Amino acid sequence: MLLRVLIAFLILSAVIEEGMTDGTCHDHRKKIFCRNMKSRGSCDTDIAKNMCPRTCGWCD
């Protein structure tokens, strides 16, 4: 069980790191927008899906 959790964590870390290096996760305005959408529970809207990359983890 612990091994599965460790493997899942490593895979997730690699995915997030990949998103961080492509430049999309460094846009501060997008991050604020997506965090606000998350706090309102609006992550399922089309605009949130287009503006908030899943690899960044802002609107999950």
Each residue's pLDDT tens digit, 7-50: 776 666 665 555 554 557 888 888 888 899 899 998 898 888 88
The pTM score is 0.55
At residue 1, the pLDDT reads: 74
* Residue pair 33/51 in contact by the 8 Å Cβ criterion: yes
**How much is the average pLDDT of 1-10?**
73
Q: Which residue stretches of 1-60 are H helix?
A: 2-21, 28-40, 46-51
